[in-house]
């Protein structure tokens, strides 16, 4: 009466209540162990995924940090024009990692009335630039589209030319850093120049008008080797 028997055609097993209880406890323990192993496996997978995400974030962070501290404005002076006694200044605004806008002014206003010598040029121009990211943010190769105009009075003692001009063209350049805020920028431009002017000759203390003329020119219109000072006017977010 104290035993439970299970009988079939091939085997006979008799189990008392204690054996049944132990069997149930072992089954529960096995299920709990399997659940714990599954939870441990899921935790390991989650930890691996988090590690991969952290690794990816770590690989992106230096570039993002470099972009964030890139200056967004630059003041430039073309050393070639400076050597030709034509003071000049250019302000460039870095819009984002690919585009920038620049505006420049070149002014040489020298004269010697006694010798009838005039070296007077006033030119203003604007340029949009596309950067190829071949070096680092705001450095490396770029191409530009520019347009500008101004007036001039040039005379070397015999014949003078006084008038206005307009030019437009494409440019190619390369900018490279020399310190945390200084760079050099080399640029050449090719395009179209149109000028209309009066030709005159000096005589005693006055000038004799000769005729009017105009020039249509295709070819090199710009050459630069500029010293660049980069600075931040306000905080910028790279990539926006």
Give the long-range contacts of residues 87-96, CB within 8 A, separation 24 or more: 90/226, 92/129, 94/70, 94/138, 94/236, 96/238, 96/239, 96/240
The CA distance from 231 to 183, in Å, is 11
Q: So what's the pLDDT on residue 234? A: 62
Its pTM surpasses 0.75 = no
And the tokens for 196? 């209309």
The CA distance from 19 to 3, in Å, is 11
168 and 149 Cβ atoms separated by less than 8 Å = no
And the tokens for 68? 């964030």
129 and 174 Cβ atoms separated by less than 8 Å = no
Radius of gyration of the chain (CA): 40
The CA distance from 200 to 197, in Å, is 10
Q: So what's the pLDDT on residue 137? A: 76
The H or E element containing residue 52 is helix 17-68
- Reduced to 3 states, what is the DSSP secondary structure of residue 73? strand
Q: So what's the pLDDT on residue 126? A: 98
Q: So what's the pLDDT on residue 203? A: 82
Q: So what's the pLDDT on residue 55? A: 52
The CA distance from 172 to 148, in Å, is 17
Q: Can you list the residues of the chain whose pLDDT is less than 50?
A: 1-15, 18, 20-22, 24, 57-58, 60-61, 63-64, 236-240
- How many Cα atoms occupy the beta-carbon half-sphere of 127 within 13 Å? 28
The residue with tokens 């080399």 is: 186
The CA distance from 72 to 226, in Å, is 17
pLDDT tens digits for range 228-239: 999 986 654 444
Contacts of 199 (CB under 8 A, 6+ apart): 159, 160, 161, 209, 210, 211, 212, 213
Q: So what's the pLDDT on residue 52? A: 52
Q: So what's the pLDDT on residue 40? A: 57
Q: So what's the pLDDT on residue 69? A: 62
Q: So what's the pLDDT on residue 136? A: 74
The CA distance from 150 to 140, in Å, is 30
And the tokens for 183? 């760079």
Q: So what's the pLDDT on residue 120? A: 96
Q: So what's the pLDDT on residue 236? A: 47
Residue 205, phi then psi, degrees to nearest 5: -105, 20
124 and 149 Cβ atoms separated by less than 8 Å = yes
């Amino acid at each position: 009466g104290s035993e439970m028997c299970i009988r079939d055609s091939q085997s006979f097993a008799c189990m008392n209540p204690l054996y049944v209880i132990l069997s149930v406890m072992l089954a529960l323990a096995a299920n709990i162990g399997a659940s714990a192993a599954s939870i441990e496996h899921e935790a390991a997978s989650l930890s691996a995924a988090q590690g991969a995400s952290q690794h990816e974030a770590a690989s992106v962070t230096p570039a993002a940090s470099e972009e964030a501290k890139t200056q967004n404005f630059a003041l430039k002076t073309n050393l070639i024009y400076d050597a030709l006694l034509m003071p000049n200044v250019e302000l460039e605004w870095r819009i984002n990692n690919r585009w920038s806008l620049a505006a420049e002014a070149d002014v040489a206003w020298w004269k010697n009335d006694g010798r009838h010598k005039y070296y007077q040029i006033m030119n203003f121009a604007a340029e949009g630039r596309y950067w190829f990211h071949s070096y680092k943010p705001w450095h490396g190769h770029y191409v530009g589209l520019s347009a500008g105009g101004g007036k001039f009075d040039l005379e070397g003692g015999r014949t003078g030319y006084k008038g206005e001009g307009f030019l437009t063209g494409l440019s190619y350049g390369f900018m490279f850093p020399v310190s945390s805020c200084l760079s050099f920028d080399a640029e050449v431009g090719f395009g179209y120049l149109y000028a209309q002017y009066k030709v005159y000759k000096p005589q005693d203390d006055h000038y004799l008008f000769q005729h009017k003329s105009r020039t249509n020119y295709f070819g090199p219109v710009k050459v630069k080797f500029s010293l660049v000072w980069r600075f931040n006017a306000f905080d910028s977010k790279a990539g926006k």
